[in-house]
Every structure is written in structure tokens, then in C-alpha cells.
């Protein structure tokens, strides 16, 4: 079973090279085409990937951030980068601090450089866990082929059982479906782990309650929200973001936040751990707190923890995505992003905040940075499609006898 992993680098740019590297990245493509100088299609294990420029602030210089969601290990991916995109790496990283001199750029020195800059991803959500890029693409093809079969033969079948038997026979005989017969099961909720998780939560509940009260009275009262409605964002800030949106079925979001200090930072680490833990053990069925459009999302600290970034790869538009979260689980957003400077004022940590939707979207835009290079391996496939296809495949190829209800459910997915 494939496990998707997060790869992340933060690399500081030479102070006088920020414009130059930005220009290089801008030529890389969002969405990233096959003929790009940094074409991710050369690495078939990549689901989504991006390069962004994190602007300098008072304390830290500008840096590049690289994030990829890949099949296999971090180390394998870094090796792939060095092997398949060495020129692209040089073209970008030549503008960065401590990158090997031109006469000293070898496989080994590039690898060492990247290994030195890799960073852990403390908050990670995978919308369709345990699926490789090739599995996702194969399952899309499978669903289409089954639809064609149903189109051609559906009128002959009187009952669900008859339809199921015919489809089952058809796929058993077709060698094109050999891959689907390999042992596979959908990711499962981990009840035991969650039991202990909930137990732990109950134990620390008093602490959490104290946290909520302290944050509410001592932090949020002093907080300075940006207070900008989404219609009040400077056009110059919006323009580069807008030109990169709504080009494929999916969109990307790259946000950079300044972190509030003290207890807020402790809380942030806790809630990111909370999000990551529940993502890995509970939200494995294609939705995060009711939002069913996220392929991959991550939260990573940068600049020694003084800032953090959020990257998401999702279906639909920015407005639809943020709106979806507000409709379903604004409190979760508040718990995490309340730690970012400028966030709409929250009420006892979980209330208000994101629920002030226009101000929340304004904050979202103000903390968003352009994503000059962005890649999706399956740009026209929505997350729910991916999830449904895997259910279809698992029940058709990897299950024993199905009940009548399960058969009906299977047929509905075609």
C-alpha cells in the first residue's frame, strides 16, 4: 500500500537575487506544463508540488519554499529531483545561499544541499490516503471503461444482481484490469488510536478550558485583526493571485502567516498535531470536517517558528473552498489560524473568526502569496471522484460476496 508523504524545503535567497529568482519561478508555470524547465511530469510519483517565494520580513530574509506530495519516501523524492531535474534545480537554486558553485555542482553536492534544507511537515492532511498517482489515474480509466460497458449493455439487465454479475464477468475476462485485482483496501479509521486520543483529550480538557479563557481574555482582546473585507484588498495584491486561479479543476492556496507569540504558539502546535493526528486516523474517507474537496493540505513552521505556511490543493474556487470550510467547520479554522496575526477576532478561541466570512476571506487573501510553479498530476479529477473510484474498485475487485445494498451502492458509482 502506497503512503503519500510530504516533502518540504525552505531555502534562503541571496538578498540581491529575490527579483531574479522570482522571475525564474514565474517562467515555471502554474499549472506546470510538460515543457517547463522544471517539469514535474518527469517524476511520476508526484501528486502535487509547488515552489513559492516567501517575502522577507523584519527579521528574516526572503526564502524559497518547495513543497511536494509524493508516493514513497522523502529521500527517494529528493533523489528523484536531483536525478531528473538537475538543471532546473540549478537554475532556481543558483540564486540561493550556499548553493554549490557552478564548477562544483554534482549529483552529490546537489543532494547534500537539498538534504540539508529538508524540513518536517508537522501538519499534514491527505484527502485520499493510500493511493499512488498511477492508482488514481488507473481508477479514473477503470470508471470510464465501466461506464462504457454499462452504456453498451445496461438495457439488457433487469436486476442489480444481474447487472453486477455481468460487470464482474466482464472485468474478470479483461486483462486491462489485472492491476485492479492486486490486494487493496480503502484506508480505515483507527478506532483504538482514536479511543486513546479522545481519552487524552478528556484528560487535558481542563487545560484546554484554561487555554480558551486565557486566549479569549488576554490575547484576543489585544489582537489586531486586519479587519479588511475581501472587497478591500489592494488590486495590486489581488492581480497576481487571480491570474493563477481557476485554470484547471483544482486550485492551490499558499499562505504565509506571522505567528502570534506565547501561549498562542503552544496552542498552534497542539492544534496542528490534533489536525494531523485526526487526519491520519479519522478523516481518511475523503473529507476533513465535512469539506470534501481537499487533495492535500499542510502546515509548516518556517523562519525558526516565527512564521508558518499553509498550502492546500483543492477542487473549485477560492471562494467555494473557504466558504465550504466556514459552512462546515469554521471553529477548526479558528483554532489553528487564530494564531496568525491579523486573523478576524475569535470568541473563546472557536467562535466568530472565520464565521465573519467576508473578513475571513479578506484575511485569507492578505496572507496569500502567489504560487509561481504549481503542479497537479491529475488536473481534471476531483477528490470525490478519486474516492468514489476507489470504493468502486475495492468492491468490484477486492471484496468477497456483496450484499444487495452493497451491489446497489457499487452500481451507483458507475
Give the CA count within 13 Å in the CB-facing half-sphere of 339. Answer: 27
Output 249 or 277, the one with its CB closest to other proteins.
249
Q: Shortest gap between Cβ of 212 and other proteins (angstroms)?
A: 22
Given candidates 157, 197, 270, 282, which one binds other proteins under the rule CB under 8 A?
157
What order of strands is seen across the sheet that includes strand 307-315? 123-126, 294-302, 307-315, 250-258
Binding part of the chain for other proteins, among 92-100, 215-223, 323-331, 341-349 by CB under 8 A, reads 323-331
| Cα angle 330-331-336, degrees, rounded to a multiple of 5 | 100
Classify residue 46 by burial, with Cβ atoms within 10 Å: 0-12, 13-18, 19+. Answer: buried
- With binding defined as CB under 8 A, does residue 75 bind other proteins? no
Output 262 or 290, the one with its CB closest to other proteins.
290
Output 74 or 409, the one with its CB closest to other proteins.
409
- With binding defined as CB under 8 A, does residue 323 bind other proteins? yes
Output 72 or 240, the one with its CB closest to other proteins.
240
Number of neighbouring beta carbons within 10 Å of residue 56: 15
- With binding defined as CB under 8 A, does residue 292 bind other proteins? yes
Residue 398 DSSP SS3: coil
Q: Shortest gap between Cβ of 294 and other proteins (angstroms)?
A: 14
- With binding defined as CB under 8 A, does residue 290 bind other proteins? yes
- With binding defined as CB under 8 A, does residue 380 bind other proteins? yes
Output 48 or 301, the one with its CB closest to other proteins.
48
| Cα angle 132-282-259, degrees, rounded to a multiple of 5 | 90
- With binding defined as CB under 8 A, does residue 73 bind other proteins? no
Output 2 or 384, the one with its CB closest to other proteins.
384
Q: Shortest gap between Cβ of 304 and other proteins (angstroms)?
A: 36
- With binding defined as CB under 8 A, does residue 344 bind other proteins? no
- With binding defined as CB under 8 A, does residue 226 bind other proteins? no
Classify residue 234 by burial, with Cβ atoms within 10 Å: 0-12, 13-18, 19+. Answer: exposed
- With binding defined as CB under 8 A, does residue 174 bind other proteins? no
Output 303 or 356, the one with its CB closest to other proteins.
356
Given candidates 87, 207, 246, 347, which one binds other proteins under the rule CB under 8 A?
246
* Residue ranges of E strands in 25-177: 46-54, 63-71, 123-126
The CA–CA distances, whole Å, from 276 to 123, 257, 259 equal 5, 19, 19
The CA–CA distances, whole Å, from 52 to 117, 185, 271, 284, 411 equal 15, 36, 25, 28, 43
Given candidates 162, 169, 198, 266, which one binds other proteins under the rule CB under 8 A?
162
Number of neighbouring beta carbons within 10 Å of residue 391: 16
- With binding defined as CB under 8 A, does residue 249 bind other proteins? yes
Specify the DSSP class assigned to residue 100: P
CA distance 293 to 306: 30
CA distance 333 to 313: 16
CA distance 185 to 338: 37
Binding part of the chain for other proteins, among 124-132, 200-208, 217-225, 228-236 by CB under 8 A, reads 228-236
State the number of binding residues for other proteins (CB under 8 A): 49
Q: Shortest gap between Cβ of 312 and other proteins (angstroms)?
A: 17
Binding part of the chain for other proteins, among 47-55, 110-118, 144-152, 187-195 by CB under 8 A, reads 144-152
Given candidates 111, 248, 289, 402, which one binds other proteins under the rule CB under 8 A?
248
Tally of residues, the chain: 414
Q: Do the Cβ atoms of 76 and 84 come closer than 8 Å?
A: no
> What pairing do the DSSP bridges indicate for beta strands 351-352 and 346-347?
antiparallel
- With binding defined as CB under 8 A, does residue 240 bind other proteins? no
Given candidates 111, 238, 263, 289, which one binds other proteins under the rule CB under 8 A?
238
Residue 167 DSSP SS3: helix
Output 73 or 148, the one with its CB closest to other proteins.
148
The binding site for other proteins (CB under 8 A) comprises 143-144, 147, 150-151, 154, 157-160, 162-163, 229-231, 238, 242-243, 245-249, 290, 292, 315-317, 319-320, 323, 326-328, 355-358, 380-382, 384-385, 388, 408, 411-414
Amino acid at each position: 500500500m502506497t503512503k503519500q508523504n510530504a516533502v518540504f524545503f525552505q531555502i534562503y535567497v541571496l538578498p540581491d537575487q529575490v527579483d531574479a529568482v522570482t522571475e525564474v519561478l514565474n517562467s515555471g508555470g502554474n499549472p506546470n506544463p510538460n515543457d517547463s524547465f522544471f517539469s514535474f511530469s518527469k517524476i511520476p510519483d508526484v501528486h502535487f508540488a509547488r515552489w513559492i517565494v516567501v517575502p522577507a520580513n523584519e527579521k528574516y530574509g526572503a526564502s524559497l519554499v518547495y513543497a511536494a506530495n509524493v508516493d514513497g519516501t522523502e529521500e527517494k523524492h529528493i533523489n528523484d529531483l536531483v536525478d531528473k531535474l538537475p538543471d532546473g534545480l540549478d537554475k532556481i537554486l543558483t540564486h540561493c545561499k550556499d548553493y554549490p558553485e557552478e564548477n562544483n555542482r554534482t549529483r552529490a553536492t546537489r543532494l547534500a544541499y537539498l538534504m540539508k534544507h529538508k524540513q518536517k511537515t508537522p501538519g499534514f492532511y491527505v484527502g485520499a490516503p493510500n493511493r499512488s498517482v498511477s492508482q488514481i489515474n488507473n481508477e479514473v480509466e477503470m470508471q470510464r471503461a465501466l461506464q462504457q460497458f454499462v452504456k453498451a449493455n445496461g438495457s439488457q439487465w433487469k436486476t442489480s444482481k444481474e447487472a453486477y454479475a455481468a460487470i464482474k464477468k466482464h472485468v474478470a475476462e479483461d486483462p486491462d484490469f489485472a492491476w485492479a485485482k492486486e490486494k487493496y483496501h480503502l484506508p480505515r479509521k483507527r478506532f483504538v488510536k482514536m479511543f486513546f486520543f479522545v481519552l487524552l483529550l478528556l484528560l487535558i480538557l481542563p487545560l484546554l478550558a484554561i487555554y480558551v479563557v486565557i486566549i479569549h481574555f488576554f490575547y484576543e482582546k489585544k489582537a489586531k485583526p486586519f479587519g479588511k473585507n475581501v472587497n478591500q484588498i489592494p488590486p495590486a495584491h489581488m492581480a497576481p493571485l487571480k491570474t493563477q486561479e481557476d485554470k484547471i479543476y483544482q486550485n492551490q492556496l499558499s499562505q504565509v502567516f506571522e505567528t502570534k507569540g506565547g501561549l498562542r504558539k503552544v496552542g498552534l502546535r497542539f492544534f496542528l498535531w490534533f489536525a494531523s493526528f485526526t487526519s491520519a486516523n479519522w478523516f481518511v474517507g475523503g473529507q476533513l470536517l465535512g469539506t470534501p474537496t481537499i487533495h492535500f493540505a499542510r502546515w509548516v513552521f518556517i523562519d525558526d517558528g516565527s512564521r508558518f505556511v499553509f498550502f492546500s490543493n483543492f477542487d473549485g474556487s477560492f471562494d467555494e473552498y473557504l466558504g465550504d470550510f466556514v459552512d462546515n467547520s469554521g471553529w477548526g479554522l479558528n483554532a489553528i489560524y487564530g494564531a496568525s496575526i491579523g486573523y478576524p477576532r475569535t470568541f473563546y478561541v472557536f467562535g466568530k473568526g472565520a464565521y465573519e466570512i467576508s473578513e475571513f476571506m479578506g484575511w485569507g487573501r492578505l496572507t496569500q502569496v502567489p504560487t509561481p510553479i504549481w503542479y497537479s498530476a491529475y488536473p481534471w479529477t476531483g477528490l470525490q471522484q478519486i474516492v468514489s473510484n476507489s470504493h468502486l474498485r475495492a468492491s468490484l475487485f477486492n471484496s468477497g460476496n456483496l450484499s444487495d445494498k452493497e451491489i446497489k451502492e457499487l452500481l451507483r458509482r458507475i
